Chain A
Amino acid sequence: MGPVDTKNPDYYHKVVDCQWACPAHTDVPGYIRLIAQGRFDDAYMLNRESNVFPGILGRVCDRPCEPACRRVRIEEKPVAICRLKRVAADLRNDISDRLPKAPKQKNGKKIALIGAGCASLTVANDLLPMGYEVVIFEKFDTTGGLMRTNIPVFRLPPKVLDEEIDMIVDMGADLRLGHEITSMKDLLEENFDAVFVGSGAPRGRNLDVPGRYDSDRIYIGIDWLESVAFEHTDSIGENVVIVGGGNTAMDCCRTSLRLGGKRVMVTARKPRHLLKASDWELEDAEEEQIELLLNHAPLRMIIEDGKLTGMEFAIVEWHEDENGRLQSTELDRVILPCDDVILAVGQENAFSFMERDIGIEFDQWDVPVVDPVTFQSTREGVFFGGDAAFGPKNIIWAVAHGHEVAISIHKYCHGEDMTERLPDKVTMESTKMGMHEWSYSNDYDEGSRRLVPHVSLKERFKKLNIEVELGFTAEQAIAEVERCLNCDIQTEFEAKRCIECDACIDICPVDCLTMTEDGPEEELRTRLNAPSTNMEQALYVSEALPQTGRAMVKDEDLCVHCGLCAERCPTAAWDMQKSLISIPLAVDQPVCQKKRRNA
């Protein structure tokens, strides 16, 4: 397969599994190392660069980084990345003087952002320091969008939300709360240089079963959470049935417990391993004694004398048909007595304010047609991002979209080609400090994942706003960071120095190195010292070695970055080098100031 080019920024980026998996590509090993050093401010700032909301995301991020963590492949549990992020936010000092500031001199461009959720706020965060004027239109009287209306306060305290949102708004955004956009057409007639739609996916899916409209105690999950957030709802019956197995269902059931629910049942059509909810959200719900009823397919509401008394389900069994598709057979039926039913069966976008004759095209599912690179709609100068663009995802995706949109808007406003974006960059720096000393903690730590302390089950239900997770202490954080396998410290190899003494091969604890003849990748994978079982992970293949012409081959899958190959190498053919991946933001994109767009 020939020598692999490690200068390609994606090569080492992929080795840093967490960073690669993070939509905003946060430099995880970089910031958690800072946390272990007690440099919380630096850790926070590094985080903020890419993910904008470290305190919020350190509590409620969907954390795609954790399942990707290399540690999962070595033992069972990933590094508690998300909770470490929170440590940086919790323990930092005042960092206001390090935040980006908007210049006095504006660049004369005015941008409209619809919705004050995470996508819009990220766009504002990137554009304000560059001299843009930014107007944010929000239909509610509060900022934060779904982060505030849908995530219960016991998971995300309003103080944390306000603090991080204010950091952006205080740069000088023109925030218009309670200002609902009712006509896109009208907005487009105002003199904005670009418009961004970050209005989320605010409509909860309905479940049309018999009896659905015969009681006022059947709610749509996200609407119900919203009314709790705005304190319009402060109680619920003792027996509550939640329909759905996603994260919204988890938020609904835990909120119910705090508003008077005694027997709270979450019913899901599918078996456990197919539930949409994240493992940890399920665990947290189960810790609170939620009844999780699997393989329950909803049939109808039971209404007696105009009053909701229960809900009927079919108990099903799943099997695969010949096409590999899941099919269910009914085994039995059951009626769950209840006072309230909450439907948490998904969300969709809603663009009722958007006229269909203004050049913004929608596809057959009524989803706007959006370019996946530039995020521009079919109408020039109108961009979409977050849940509004490609349907419901999560906060960190919205942040990632926001950064890309800011680049597009910047280029667009200067009349430049939006598809010509700066590529990612990788810079390497040796971590060698002495004969066998490195500037990172290379020893493998056998410790298992530290548990985040929780408020006791007795205490936490007393009030709705008691935050359940307490967060790591600095000491717990240091211990947890030691579990990180330093995937950003790369084994950089220089073939011409190698004398083929086998020392690296012999010492590697996970047998990831092999010296062998080069060959086609698939065949080469069969000749490695340890079975190559993970095709997603790259093979490194060196240039021909000087003495025998073989190649040094490394299976990146299980390397624990202990640096022993480099320590045992007599010729320094191996070196442990920190790869710094830089992902360009709007501010990094050069634009030609003179070439103004003729509007």
Chain B
Amino acid sequence: MSFISKPKVGHPALQRNELGLWQRDYEGTISTLCAGCGHDSISAALIQTFFELSIEPYRVAKTSGIGCSSKTPAYFLSQSHAFNSVHGRMPSVTMGANAANSSMIFVGISGDGDSLSIGMGQFCHAIRRNLNMAYIIENNGVYGLTKGQFSASADIGSTAKKGEVNNQKPIDAALTAINQGAGYVARGFSGDKEQLVPLLKGALRHKGMALVDIISPCVTFNDHEGSTKSYAHTREHYHQLEQTDFVPPAEEITVSSEGRELTPVRLHDGSHILLRNVEKDYDPRDQAGAFAYLKNCQLRGEIPTGLLFIDENSIDFHERNNTIETPLIDLDHEDICPGADVLAEMLGRYR
């Protein structure tokens, strides 16, 4: 851990965003994670994402569970709201906050351990309810914080640092999410911000559950030769399905002259994700096709990345349940707590 904080100087030629803020205004405290941890690059990608989308930090709620990954909300957007919950419980805390105030921007940070073991139930149900949030899994194949035990995302045959071989089948977070009906499922790599940042932007702009599974190597416990989540292995088996660009609402979509097929995917707020297909026959709007394709990749040991699936007609929790738009905090006391008579009347309905 560094003893000094990141100097408060910046490149004088850098631009401010629409709010007049510098990218530096979106940082958090200096990281206490191991030097080289993929999670830190994801924090940096999030900083860039929020900065470029000109989101006011105070409108953001960061939630997390337990793990090195779950510590990362401290390392970006220090001027936003945050809740570091118990292991595996990030989804339910987010659910509560989101139910009370749907006007905020929710970003949940979790790990493969946090979401795919102890939190697996919460993970699936948050998808099922279609919570409007960006759900980020910083996936390193191990429990980093507790010194590198295999997590549920570890591949068969991959080895731990000391040599034990994993022989249990992995849970693939993205496949699970597609299967559960999440409306936005993407996979990225901490070492490729060019792809990751547009995917994160899309996740924040999608209305409903947006899962981003990010391969994020644990340099300390899972960056060795037998690992399938190391920097080197990921780079070797990286399989980019499409090149991704994010186009904000007001901007016109220009089709490049490269001649490659270009698919604009419309997001709820009028922005677009522009996909330049690398894999010719891949259509991220076809749930069954995507599932089958990804399953095959998994069997071949490939790591497909990009926007894996999108449901442009996703209906989120609030819409489906016809809830009130006003955040509860802005309602008058009488509206939230209409009194004993109303309560008695409501209870009467169940008699």
Contacts and interface: CB of A to CB of B under 8 A. Distances in A.
Interface stretch (B30-38, B257-265, B325-333): B30-38
Contact of B223 (A499, A509, A531, A558): A499
Given A444-B9, A570-B36, A564 B232 contact: no
A547 B14 contact: no
Contacts of B16: none
A564 B35 CA distance: 10
Interface string B1-24: 111101111111110000000001
B35 A509 contact: no
Contacts of B24: 509
B44 interface: yes
Contact of B44 (A506, A548, A558, A571): A506
Contact of B14 (A436, A511, A567): A511
A499 B231 contact: yes
A500 B9 contact: no
Contacts of A503: 35-37, 40-41
A502 B7 CA distance: 18
B13 A507 contact: no
Nearest to B5: A443
A326 interface: no
A530 B11 contact: yes
A75 interface: yes
Contacts of B30: 507
Contacts of A510: 9-11
Interface in A555-572: 558, 560, 562, 564, 567-571
Given A75-B9, A499-B231, A558-B11, A437 B36 contact: no
Contact of B219 (A436, A442, A501): A501
Contact of B13 (A443, A499, A530): A530
B95 to A, nearest CB: 31
Contacts of B35: 503, 567-570
A531 B44 contact: no
A509 B34 contact: no
A509 B9 contact: yes
B3 to A, nearest CB: 6
Contact of A502 (B4, B8, B41, B223): B41
B186 to A, nearest CB: 19
Contacts of B43: 506
B87 interface: no
Contacts of B235: 500, 547-548
B50 to A, nearest CB: 15
Contacts of A567: 2, 35
Q: Which of B12, B14, B43, B235 has the most CB of A within 10 A?
A: B12
Interface residues of B, number: 35
Given A562-B4, A570-B219, A533 B36 contact: no
Q: Is chain A's interface secondary structure helix, strand, loop, or mixed overall?
A: loop
A42 B35 CA distance: 37
Contact of A499 (B4, B7, B8, B232): B232
B4 A568 contact: no
Contacts of B36: 499, 501, 503, 568-571
A437 B4 CA distance: 10
B108 interface: no
Nearest to B6: A509
A446 interface: yes
B34 A570 contact: yes
Interface in B67-117: none
A514 to B, nearest CB: 11
Contacts of B41: 501-503, 506
A121 to B, nearest CB: 42
Interface in B187-227: 190-191, 193, 217, 219-220, 223
B101 to A, nearest CB: 31
Nearest to B44: A506
A442 B2 CA distance: 11
A517 to B, nearest CB: 12
Given A436-B1, A511-B14, A500 B231 contact: yes
Contact of A533 (B4, B13, B38, B232): B13
A70 B232 CA distance: 37
B7 A547 contact: no
A531 B13 contact: yes
Contacts of A547: 231-232, 235
A500 B4 CA distance: 23
Contacts of B31: 568
A422 interface: no
Nearest to A506: B44
Interface string B33-77: 011111011011000000000000000000000000000000000
Given A442-B4, A569-B35, A502 B13 contact: no
Interface in A494-535: 499-503, 505-507, 509-512, 530-531, 533
B171 to A, nearest CB: 25
A502 B12 CA distance: 22
A444 B30 CA distance: 14
A564 B40 contact: no
A501 B232 contact: no
Nearest to B38: A501
Contacts of A509: 6-10, 24
A354 interface: no
Interface centre among A73, A499, A533, A567 (most CB of B within 10 A): A499
17 contacts: A74-B9, A444-B9, A499-B36, A502-B41, A503-B41, A506-B43, A507-B6, A510-B9, A531-B14, A533-B13, A547-B232, A560-B7, A564-B2, A564-B4, A568-B2, A570-B37, A570-B220
Q: Which 5 A-B pairs have the closest CB atoms?
A: A570-B36, A444-B7, A506-B44, A530-B11, A443-B4
Interface of B: 1-4, 6-14, 24, 30-31, 34-38, 40-41, 43-44, 190-191, 193, 217, 219-220, 223, 231-232, 235
Given A437-B3, A501-B219, A502-B190, 20 more contacts: A74-B9, A74-B12, A444-B9, A499-B231, A499-B232, A502-B40, A502-B191, A503-B37, A506-B40, A506-B43, A506-B44, A509-B7, A509-B10, A510-B10, A512-B11, A533-B13, A567-B35, A568-B31, A568-B35, A570-B36
